[in-house]
């Protein structure tokens, strides 16, 4: 009986250590906040898709204290001429807000604006011929505006 009790207590202790260790690792996760932020603000489609998945499940990332707020395309139309730019604008806001909060905005602005432009061009890629050209022209205008005034 004593041996079973000792074995059970050892197993319980090991389980507790595992749970506490996992909780400590989860608490330590925000140390990689800058790497996560950087990974979600690159020019690639995979970066955009990772950000979009995280945005859809923000509670998973609550320990990182990211600012998910957005005014979308600010004073410009979110969907100019019917082109759905709103989500691209939301990711751009995410990058701007979080890099400003981290005190690293000026070092990252050019990349954030480039990522925005790439996101807009991916929206335009869904169109053909004249509609695609109009979309790309509108994307270029939005990019130039954030580059100059963002």
Which CATH number covers residue 123?
A: 1.20.90.10
pLDDT for 27 beyond 80:
no
Look at residue 9 and tell me if it is in a domain: no
Q: In degrees rounded to 5, what are phi and psi of residue 10?
A: -65, -45
Look at residue 8 and tell me if it is in a domain: no
Look at residue 7 and tell me if it is in a domain: no
- Reported confidence tier of residue 57, pLDDT bands at 50, 70, 90: very high
Closest CA to 33 of 100, 82, 98: 98
pLDDT for 5 beyond 60:
no
User: Domain total for the chain?
Assistant: 1
Look at residue 59 and tell me if it is in a domain: yes
CA gap 126, 81 in Å, rounded? 15
CA gap 143, 118 in Å, rounded? 9
- Reported confidence tier of residue 30, pLDDT bands at 50, 70, 90: confident
Q: Residue 77 belongs to what domain range?
A: 32-149
Q: Catalytic residue at 92?
A: yes
Q: Which of 48, 51, 90, 92 is catalytic?
A: 92
């Amino acid at each position: 009986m004593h041996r079973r009790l000792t074995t059970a207590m050892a197993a319980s202790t090991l389980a507790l250590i595992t749970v506490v260790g996992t909780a400590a690792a989860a608490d330590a996760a925000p140390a990689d906040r800058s790497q996560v932020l950087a990974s979600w603000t690159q020019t690639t489609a995979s970066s955009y898709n990772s950000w979009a998945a995280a945005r859809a499940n923000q509670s998973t990332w609550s320990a990182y204290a990211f600012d998910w707020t957005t005014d979308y395309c600010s004073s410009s139309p979110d969907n100019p001429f019917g082109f759905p730019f709103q989500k691209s604008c939301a990711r751009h806001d995410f990058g701007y807000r979080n890099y400003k909060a981290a005190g690293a905005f000026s070092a990252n602005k050019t990349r954030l604006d480039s990522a925005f432009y790439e996101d807009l061009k991916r929206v335009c890629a869904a169109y053909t011929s004249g509609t695609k050209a109009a979309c790309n022209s509108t994307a270029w205008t939005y990019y130039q505006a954030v580059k100059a005034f963002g």
